[in-house]
């Protein structure tokens, strides 16, 4: 397991890998030598942040509960430039009433940006929470030119 650190407009990005898969990605402070897997991941993140990339080719592996993994899979299915609600995520994860649990799983996302939890918003179209703050979430949505659900969405699965 190695951790590599790269500068971004949001701060230092720590990328964890096991030599083949990216296993974690978070904002952090630190320094280390960079692994080849982490360098490839950082190249893709840099391309995304500059608007040149819409999808990621890096291999990822996550550790979490079965429900968290279902939530992260559902989040990964949200197309670039679109958003979905926490209710939609809970429904896709097989537990339609577990909206708060889906929100918690979003907050536990181990690989930011690649698993695009920034694309998950509240039913009224407002941003909702984000581990690294709403300004970063808004910036990521702006990079994508993301559309938001209508306030009329309410409690429906939008």
What is the CB neighbour count within 10 angstroms for residue 49?
A: 17
Whether the predicted pLDDT of 60 surpasses 80: yes
**For residue 145, is it left (φ>0), alpha (ψ between -120 and 50) or beta?**
left
Percent of the chain with pLDDT over 70: 91
DSSP 110: S
For residue 38, which of 76, 72, 2, 11 has the smallest C-alpha distance?
A: 2
Residue 100 pLDDT:
95
Residue 63 pLDDT:
93
Residue 55 pLDDT:
95
Catalytic sites, residue numbers: 117
Whether the predicted pLDDT of 102 surpasses 80: yes
What's the rounded mean pLDDT across residues 115-138? 91
Domain limits, the chain: 2-49, 66-153
How far is the C-alpha of 30 from the C-alpha of 70, rounded, in Å?
A: 31
How far is the C-alpha of 81 from the C-alpha of 144, rounded, in Å?
A: 5
66-153 has CATH 1.10.10.10 classification:
yes
């Amino acid at each position: 397991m190695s951790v590599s650190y790269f500068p971004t407009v949001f701060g230092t990005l720590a990328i964890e890998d096991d030599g083949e898969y990216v296993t974690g990605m978070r904002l952090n402070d630190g320094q280390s030598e960079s692994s080849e897997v982490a360098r490839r991941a950082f190249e893709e993140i840099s391309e995304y942040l500059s608007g040149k990339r819409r999808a990621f080719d890096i291999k990822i592996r996550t550790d979490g509960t079965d429900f968290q993994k279902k939530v992260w899979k559902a989040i990964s299915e949200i197309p670039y430039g679109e958003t979905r609600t926490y209710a939609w995520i809970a429904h896709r994860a097989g537990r339609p009433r577990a909206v708060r649990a889906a929100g918690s799983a979003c907050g536990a996302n181990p690989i930011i940006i690649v698993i695009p939890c920034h694309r998950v918003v509240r039913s009224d179209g407002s941003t909702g929470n984000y581990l690294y703050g709403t300004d970063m979430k808004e910036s990521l949505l702006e990079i994508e030119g993301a559309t938001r659900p209508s306030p009329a969405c309410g409690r429906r699965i939008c």
